[in-house]
Amino acid sequence: MNYKEEMRRLREELNGHGYRYYVEDAPIISDFEYDRLLRRLEDLEGQHPEEITPDSPTQRVGGAPLSEFAPVEHPVALESLQDVFDGGEVREFLARVSETLPNAAYSVEPKVDGLSVALEYRDGVLVRGATRGDGRIGEDVTENLRTIRSIPMTLPDKLPRLIVRGEVYMSRQVFEEINARREIEGKPLMANPRNAAAGSLRQLDPKVAAQRRLDIAVFNLQLAEGRDFSTHTEAMDYLATQRFKVIPHTRLCAPKDILAQIEHLGEERMKFPFDIDGAVVKLDHLADRAVLGSTAKCPRWAIAYKYPPEKKPSVLKNIVVQVGRTGVLTPKAELEPVRLAGTTVTYATLHNQDFITEKDIRIGDTVIVQKAGEIIPEIVEVLRDKRPDGTVPYHLPDRCPECGAPVVRDEDGVALRCSGAECPAQRLRNLTHFASRNAMDIDGLGPAVLRQLVENDLVKTAADLYTLRAEDIAGLDRMGDKSAQNAVNAIAASRKNDLWRLINALGIRQVGDKLAKVLASHFRTLDALMASSEQELTEINDVGPVTAQFIRRWLDQPQSRDLIAKLKAAGVNTNCKEEILDSTFSGMTFVLTGTLEKFTRDEAGAMIEQRGGKTAGSVSKKTAYVVAGENAGSKLRKAQELGIPILTEDAFLQML
């Protein structure tokens, strides 16, 4: 078999396995075997890049980042639906339709809460995908849509042109997994699956979209050249044969059964893998749809019934304060069990102290509870007339319930946060940050390994990492002798890191890698930084009063001083080794954009910092210069608009 034939066979085989796994949920080979076949195809494509085809499963990982999304005009408008909110409005819709079409047939399906897109195929090959936008003009997000494994890259039938409409969503399971990881990494949590899906699909870097594991439910045929269909359900059955993941739980209904089916979907919605915010009722016969047509805003042949959030009363038995992995104190209401949206609720979020104070929520109150976005239970009202005697206003503690360290308010004045450097609740997050690439850069100590070290009580603080032996790590899941030894070697090597890495690794609020470099360069030793006053700190250009206060508070904590003492005892370097060449760029801010040929952005940034300057990620009026490489995008345009001087690589080298 020649390489072309082998590549064709591998593409077909892998796409078939992908369909069985992501659409039918019935894989017939192991992940290991799938990965082995994919690796073979990747090797062949590396040897013969001219043979890479758009339908290759290797093309789903995401290409180069985009500078912007191009506009797309939809050949068939992606109309929005008229919302209705009760049974009376549903009956009014049915009555209007029956005046013109007394024998109409209807389909009822769940309304997936995601982001609407159109997929266009030419001769059976996916050529473009676009967001709904305003219904007429959307955005080209083809590269991001290619990363969704349930979207077929090619179709069995090679129709000249086919356009389908679907709803891109993030499953509840994926949403919870991503938020759990973001919490460990200290990143803001995503609000709900719909926002997460929309944000993921509009990432300029397709590789980020690929990591979000989005899915799709196709719910309409927009255009099909070369095929005719008489009904919507017939079209959906056809799309299923073309390997589309069509919307499930759809049912043909007589008018008298529609409200019962809407209610049934509402009762079952928590069993679906995706969020739904309603049910869609639409005419099944396509000719009937053409008879009714559309208004300027929406079709006359369909409505979207929106489910109201279910609300029920319960008694607030207690308020429990949890300390998250980022140190934020989160109050939770412990409730008398109440059934909501298909699940039994015993806890509800109270958000923060301001929320509790605003609603005057007290232990013993009877409260009204609902599920926000069908996910998170929350208290929406206090029934004051049922408040028992003797209740008192509730205030969060001023000491961390986990470690006893003082609690401080965030700069935004909302969240309360534990200031303890060795707080058990923050252990995994602190260790993950300590070992991360921009901190101590300890290769082999990712979140999964660190979680096991914490769970096995092998590590309590960052200093404990330096006492680990290879045999301690080798016994963890998915680790072996070689990986363990490499990790221990990486830990040992991190002792020699420059001071700025250690300062960043300590996790002081508002101190990232850039400010850590400024502090290391200014004070030269960790001891000098520890001895500095708030006044000294504010005299540094990049340190404002709030940041100075955060630094000083952290350094003054007994837990912080204990951690630093242990790190010193472990032999971790606490002196600045970076040589300051001169002050050529003192007070200047540079922005690097595009692809640099003679050095990486990190190398260019280091050269700027060695000369007293700093780098920033965005262009502003305070930017001194923009260094632009190949394929520079929006930052270059912003610099041109603001009149910021733009340097080529050669001009930048001359300045150096």
Segment 531-546, tens digit of pLDDT: 999 999 998 877 889 8
Q: Which of 4, 111, 271, 577 is catalytic?
A: 111
d(CA 531, CA 478): 44
Tokens 């965030």 belong to residue: 410
Per-residue pLDDT tens over the stretch 374-418: 567 889 999 999 999 999 999 999 999 999 999 988 766 678 989
CATH class of 589-655: alpha beta
Identify the architecture of domain 79-306 in CATH: 2-Layer Sandwich (3.30)
Dihedral of the CA atoms 613, 619, 621, 622 (nearest 10)? -20
Distances 223 to 6, 121, 220, 291 between C-alpha atoms, Å: 35, 10, 9, 18
Residue type, 593: T
User: What was the pLDDT predicted at 180?
Assistant: 80
By CB atoms closer than 10 A (0-12, 13-18, 19+), residue 444 is: middle
For domain 311-386, say whether CATH 3.40.1190.20 is its number. Answer: no
User: What was the pLDDT predicted at 250?
Assistant: 94
Dihedral of the CA atoms 325, 329, 333, 337 (nearest 10)? 10
State mean pLDDT over 535-562: 90
d(CA 57, CA 42): 9
Homologous superfamily of 3-59: Helix hairpin bin (1.10.287.610)
Contact, 597 vs 630, CB < 8 A? yes
Tokens 């609300």 belong to residue: 311
The enclosing H or E element of 97 equals: helix 87-100
The DSSP code sequence of 449-478 is HHHHHHHTTS-SSGGGGGG--HHHHHTSTT
pLDDT exceeds cutoff 70 at 429? yes
Contacting residues for 305 by C-beta, under 8 A, at least 6 apart? 83, 84, 85, 90, 111, 262, 278, 279, 280, 281
Q: Judge if 3-59 and 589-655 fold alike in CATH terms.
A: no
| DSSP bridge pairs for 649 | none
H, E, C per residue of 248-287: CCCEEECHHHHHHHHHHHHHHHHHCCCCEEEEEEEECEHH
Q: How confident is the model at residue 168 (pLDDT cuts 50, 70, 90)?
A: very high
d(CA 490, CA 499): 17
- pTM score over 0.85: no
What does the block give as tokens for 242? 């073309």
Which residue from 398, 406, 411, 361 is spatially nearest to 383, judged by alpha carbons? Answer: 361
Per-residue pLDDT tens over the stretch 38-61: 878 888 888 888 888 877 877 765
Q: Is 108 helix (H, G, I), strand (E, B) or coil?
A: strand
Contacting residues for 453 by C-beta, under 8 A, at least 6 apart? 431, 459, 468, 472, 473, 476
User: What was the pLDDT predicted at 63?
Assistant: 52
User: What was the pLDDT predicted at 375?
Assistant: 63
| DSSP bridge pairs for 276 | 112
Annotation: CATH topology of 419-573: DNA polymerase; domain 1 (1.10.150)
d(CA 105, CA 358): 50
pLDDT exceeds cutoff 80 at 601? no
The DSSP code sequence of 137-172 is EEEB-HHHHHT-TTS-SB-SS--SEEEEEEEEE--H
Per-residue pLDDT tens over the stretch 244-300: 999 999 999 999 999 999 999 988 888 899 988 899 999 999 999 999 999 887 999
Contact, 445 vs 491, CB < 8 A? yes
Higher pLDDT, 61 or 568: 568
User: What was the pLDDT predicted at 299?
Assistant: 95
Weakest mean pLDDT among 431-445, 501-515, 525-539, 576-590: 576-590
User: What was the pLDDT predicted at 32?
Assistant: 63
Percentage of residues in the chain with pLDDT exceeding 70? Answer: 95
pLDDT exceeds cutoff 80 at 155? yes
Per-residue pLDDT tens over the stretch 56-94: 877 765 555 556 788 999 999 999 999 998 999 999 999
Percentage of residues in the chain with pLDDT exceeding 90? Answer: 52
d(CA 374, CA 352): 20
Return the DSSP state at 57.
Answer: G
Q: How confident is the model at residue 151 (pLDDT cuts 50, 70, 90)?
A: very high
pLDDT exceeds cutoff 60 at 233? yes
What residues does each domain of the chain span? 3-59, 79-306, 311-386, 419-573, 589-655
User: What was the pLDDT predicted at 106?
Assistant: 97
Q: Is 635 helix (H, G, I), strand (E, B) or coil?
A: helix
State mean pLDDT over 156-172: 95
Higher pLDDT, 222 or 68: 222
- Average pLDDT over all residues of the chain: 88
517 catalytic? Reply is no
User: What was the pLDDT predicted at 341?
Assistant: 66
User: What was the pLDDT predicted at 66?
Assistant: 53
What does the block give as tokens for 454? 């914490």
